[in-house]
Amino acid sequence: MRVGLFVTCVNDTLFPETGKAVVTLLRRLGCEVDFPMAQTCCGQMHVNTGYRDEGVRLARGFLDVFAGYQAVVVPSGSCASMIREQYPKLAAGMGASRPGAFASAHGGRSPFARAVAEVTPRVYDLAEFLVDVLDRTDVGAYFPHRVTYHPTCHSLRGLRAGDRPLRLLRAVRGLELVPLAAADECCGFGGTFAVKNAAVSAAMCADKVANVLNTGAEVLCAADNSCLMHIGGTLARQRAGVRVMHLAEILAQTEDAR
C-alpha cells in the first residue's frame, strides 16, 4: 500500500525523530511511504486561534498535496482530527450544507467542500491506520520499559480512537503498561491556549503531571507531540525524571535494533 505521510509542521520542525519512526514502522509493515515535499501545515493553529482565512489557505494546500493518496497517515491526533473533523465544518461554513437537521440556508458545494469530501475520509491517525487499515495490533515492537499512556483529547473525543493505542502498546514485548488516573482529562495544552491562558493551562498540566508521577512510569507516551511538548516541558522543568515519547517511537523499536 502506498501511504502519504503528513508529518505535521510541529513534528517536521521540532520532532523529526517521530517522523523517522513512522517511516521505519510503516516500511517494516510492508507499506510504501511517500513524503510529499510540498506539505506544510494543516492550518489548525490559525483556525483555532481565530484566523480562519489563513487556516483555510493552509487547508487548501494540504488537500492539493494529498489528493492522490490511498491513505494519508498523520502522527498527531489533533492534526488528524483537524483534517477529518474540522475541515468538513469549515466547508460547511463556506456554503456547503451543514450536517444535522437545522441546516444552512445556502446549499451547494464549493470546490473546497468537494476536496474535503474526497480526501479527508482517507486520512488516518497512526494508531487508526495500524489497527483499522493494516489490521495489526502486534507490530513486532520491543520496548522493555514501564509506560503510561495519555490519550489526548483530539484522539479520544475528536477521532474516537478508543483503545486502539492501548491495544498497540499492550502488544509491545517487554512493555509494562500502567494505567493513568483521569487519563481522559485535558493536559491543558490547547494550542495558543497554553500561552493565552497560561495560568489555567499550567494548573491543568500540574494535575496531569501529578497523575503521571503517581504511575511510577519511566515513560509517558501519547500520539501527539504538541501535548507531549507541554507535559514534557513541565516534567523537565520539575526535573521529574520521566521521559515523554511519541507512540510511533515506541512502536518503531525492535529487539534487533537494541
Rule CB under 8 A: which of 48-67 touch another protein? Answer: 48-52, 54, 57-58, 61
The reply on whether position 2 binds another protein by CB under 8 A is: no
The reply on whether position 199 binds another protein by CB under 8 A is: yes
Contact 10, 152 (CB under 8 A): no
Query: How many other C-beta atoms are found inside a 10 Å radius of the C-beta of residue 42?
Result: 28
User: DSSP assignment of 142-202, as one string?
Assistant: B--SEEEE---HIIIIIS--TTHHHHHHHTSBT-EEEPPTTTTS--S-TTTHHHHTHHHHH
**Which residues are within 8 A (CB) of 256 and not within 5 positions of it... i.e. 6 or more apart?**
none
The reply on whether position 162 binds another protein by CB under 8 A is: no
The reply on whether position 234 binds another protein by CB under 8 A is: yes
Instruction: Work out which of 111, 203, 210, 214 binds another protein, going by CB under 8 A.
Output: 203
| Stretch near another protein under the rule CB under 8 A, chosen from 44-52, 128-136, 143-151, 211-219 | 44-52
Q: What is the DSSP pairing of strand 176-178 with strand 71-74?
A: unpaired
Instruction: Work out which of 4, 6, 9, 123 binds another protein, going by CB under 8 A.
Output: 9
CB closer to another protein out of 27 and 170: 27
Instruction: Work out which of 1, 28, 29, 33 binds another protein, going by CB under 8 A.
Output: 33
Instruction: Work out which of 1, 28, 40, 167 binds another protein, going by CB under 8 A.
Output: 40
Write down how long the chain is. 258
Instruction: Work out which of 76, 86, 120, 215 binds another protein, going by CB under 8 A.
Output: 86
**Which residues are within 8 A (CB) of 166 and not within 5 positions of it... i.e. 6 or more apart?**
149, 177
CB closer to another protein out of 17 and 218: 17
SS3 21: helix
Q: How far is the CB of 40 from another protein (least distance, A)?
A: 5
SS3 223: coil
Instruction: Work out which of 4, 77, 151, 158 binds another protein, going by CB under 8 A.
Output: 158
CB closer to another protein out of 137 and 192: 192
The reply on whether position 194 binds another protein by CB under 8 A is: yes
Residue showing cell 516534567: 235
The reply on whether position 30 binds another protein by CB under 8 A is: no
Q: How far is the CB of 1 from another protein (least distance, A)?
A: 16
x/- site string to another protein, residues 115 to 144, per CB under 8 A?
------------------------------
User: How would you classify residue 108: left for phi > 0, otherwise alpha for psi between -120 and 50, otherwise beta?
Assistant: left
Instruction: Work out which of 19, 77, 151, 165 binds another protein, going by CB under 8 A.
Output: 19
Q: How far is the CB of 176 from another protein (least distance, A)?
A: 25
Q: How far is CA 182 from the centre of its chain?
A: 20
User: How would you classify residue 97: left for phi > 0, otherwise alpha for psi between -120 and 50, otherwise beta?
Assistant: beta
